[in-house]
Amino acid sequence: MAHTSAPVRNGHPLHPGKNDVGLRNGFSKNGQHLHHTKGGLYKRPFTESFEQAPLYVAVLTYMGFGVVTLFGYFRDFLRAWGFEKCNLAQEREEQKDFVPLYQDFENFYTRNLYMRVRDNWNRPICSLPGPQFDLMERVSDDYNWTFRHTGKVIDGVINMGSYNYLGFAENDPTFLTSVEESNEKYGSGVCSTRQEMGNLDIHEELEKLVATFLGVESAMTFGMGFATNAMNIPALVGKGCLILSDELNHTSLVLGARLSGSTIRVFKHNNMQSLEKLLRDAVVHGQPRSHRPWKKILIIVEGIYSMEGSIVRLPEIIALKKKYKAYLYLDEAHSIGAVGPTGRGVVEFFELDPRDIDVLMGTFTKSFGSSGGYIAGKKELVDFLRLHSHSAVYATSMSPPVAEQILRSMKCIMGLDGTTIGIQRVRRLAENTRYFRQRLNEMGFIIYGHEESPVVPLLLFMPGKVGAFAREMLKRKIGVVVVGFPATPITEARARFCVSAAHTTPMLDKVLNALDELGDHLVLKYSRHTRSSRPELYDETSFEMDD
């Protein structure tokens, strides 16, 4: 991929200067295609694709849902009139006249579609979730209402669902000696919160290391990744502040935003024109009725969106944030350790300065093989959070062996343990990602997301194929995660693959061959390489959208 040599421009990054007329549409005079560099903000081309399926696929998907809904009504009728035994929670006879305790209609979808294909989720694993795992076989006699284990173990199932990006989910004793020692020294429970007796020296060491890793002044760690978002956003913003959150943000961010009591406005996924419009409206009109200026404007985005595999357009967001004087909260749960030449996340991926981002948040669950979350940034911010975060006051702090695992994996990635294992794994992940995505594109599947994101959603569309795909893959000893409505839009059910540095090329080849076979058997290769319904943003500065 050639680096584009964009000349130095005057004026604002989003509005190229007058002497760039020849380069405005992305074509320079000597015929070299510049891709979408947005006035020099991007050092490399940013290639994402969200191809739309042919129309008949959407029609057939709706038809499939229609058939299942009709049969759902039919079965509900049979259950209500006693022709069939009801396996769900029901109210007691004495309480029939009370206000209903169980909302029947909300569970319609769960009862009538999810239950029928439920055997593809919550599968019990009985080994380490590394690149391969062992699965306990279970069968159902009454169409997934109850399961029983046969006692047999299916071993050597290739794991394409765990967020094990750098392969640190390992149980090799040679790597885990320091974790064992810390368990012997501290025990496994902390039994207190950060502000009381739960502040151990290992936490201080970890926080210094995280700050060095990210290139910021200071960091604070928490015991749970979800709680990091949910408990810290209310500490940072409150009533009278504005939160601009991406359409597809994770539930933890949405929960934190709602708990804070601020006004929330949602912009279209990764769409900078939508964000700029909202920012302009916020700055110009202020708060809804009083028109006073907002106390704070916080933009909340994620590094990699795990359902789409898309990477945030960080350079443009930073340019917007500086122009409109807003704050940025970046949730790097999936991208820390997984993108960037040395695994430092999306900030390094776009070659930006970490000091430009106000609140850097991330989790240790995915790339570090541990659990917990962190918030990093300027020293004043982190000192404020140490006092005011709900998590610091009320939640138990991180367990010492867990903290030691993060320390050892982070040192491994940075190379501080004297080996090159870490950087080799980061490079291996990038290679695996590129190889996997390239082969899938060649085969003709519809893949969403950025070409360098290790999360690969493969679109299945029809609800019948969702169940069939997962079962057939398990028959071939490959474990995949399939997702349907309501976690995704109704027509876009998908299988989500998470590439790992621990996957060897033979494993990936086995998966790819199985996918090739299944793609023909189930008819999943819908790609026609056409434009998608999501707007591709070229060098336009305004974009009329019908909201």
Partner 1 sequence: MNTVRSLCLTPGSVMTSPLSVDMMDVKRFKEYISWLYYQYLLVTCSYVLEPWEQSIFNTVLLTVVAMVVYTAYVFIPIHIRLALEFFSSLCGGQHESTVAIIS
Q: Six-digit token pair at 93?
A: 């006879």
Asked if 468 touches partner 1 (CB under 8 A), the answer is: yes
State the alpha helices, DSSP H only, in 395-539.
400-414, 421-443, 463-475, 505-521
Asked if 492 touches partner 1 (CB under 8 A), the answer is: no
* Residue of 139, 197, 487, 545 that binds partner 1 (CB under 8 A): 139
* Residue of 144, 178, 183, 199 that binds partner 1 (CB under 8 A): 144
Largest CA distance in the chain: 83
Asked if 494 touches partner 1 (CB under 8 A), the answer is: no
Positive or negative torsion for Cα 235, 375, 41, 35: negative
* Residue of 13, 26, 40, 64 that binds partner 1 (CB under 8 A): 64
Size of the site for partner 1 (CB under 8 A): 29
- Pick the stretch among 135-143, 179-187, 288-296, 395-403 that binds partner 1 (CB under 8 A): 135-143
Bridge partners, 154 (sequence order): 135
Bridge partners, 148 (sequence order): 139
* Residue of 71, 73, 77, 145 that binds partner 1 (CB under 8 A): 71
Q: How far is the CB of 467 from partner 1 (least distance, A)?
A: 6
Q: Six-digit token pair at 146?
A: 């109850």
* Residue of 60, 136, 416, 421 that binds partner 1 (CB under 8 A): 60
- Pick the stretch among 29-37, 80-88, 126-134, 456-464 that binds partner 1 (CB under 8 A): 456-464
3-state helix, strand, coil in the chain (%, to 5): 40, 15, 45
Q: Six-digit token pair at 40?
A: 């020099």
Which C-beta is closer to partner 1: that of 61 or that of 232? 61
* Residue of 32, 140, 212, 251 that binds partner 1 (CB under 8 A): 140
* Residue of 91, 247, 509, 517 that binds partner 1 (CB under 8 A): 517
**For the stretch 246-261, what's the b/e string if a residue is b when 16 or more beta carbons lie within 10 angstroms of its beta carbon?**
bebbbebbbbbbeebe
Asked if 110 touches partner 1 (CB under 8 A), the answer is: no
- Pick the stretch among 121-129, 141-149, 294-302, 335-343 that binds partner 1 (CB under 8 A): 141-149
Q: How far is the CB of 520 from partner 1 (least distance, A)?
A: 8
Q: Measured between alpha carbons, how far is 400 from 406 in angstroms, rounded to an integer?
A: 10
Window 395-434: contact mask with partner 1 (x via CB under 8 A):
----------------------------------------
Q: Measured between alpha carbons, how far is 141 from 341 in angstroms, rounded to an integer?
A: 50
Which C-beta is closer to partner 1: that of 417 or that of 516? 516
Question: Which residues inside 202-221 make contact with partner 1, applying CB under 8 A?
Answer: none
Q: What contacts 361, CB < 8 A, 6 or more positions away?
A: 228, 229, 232, 329, 330, 331, 332, 333, 373, 374, 375, 376
Integer angstrom CA distances of residue 263 from 244, 276, 282, 296, 309: 9, 17, 11, 11, 28
Q: How far is the CB of 72 from partner 1 (least distance, A)?
A: 10
Say how far residue 301 (Cα) sits from the centre of its chain: 11
Binding site for partner 1 (CB under 8 A): 60, 63-65, 67-68, 71, 113, 116-117, 119, 139-141, 143-144, 462-465, 467-468, 471-472, 475, 517, 521-523
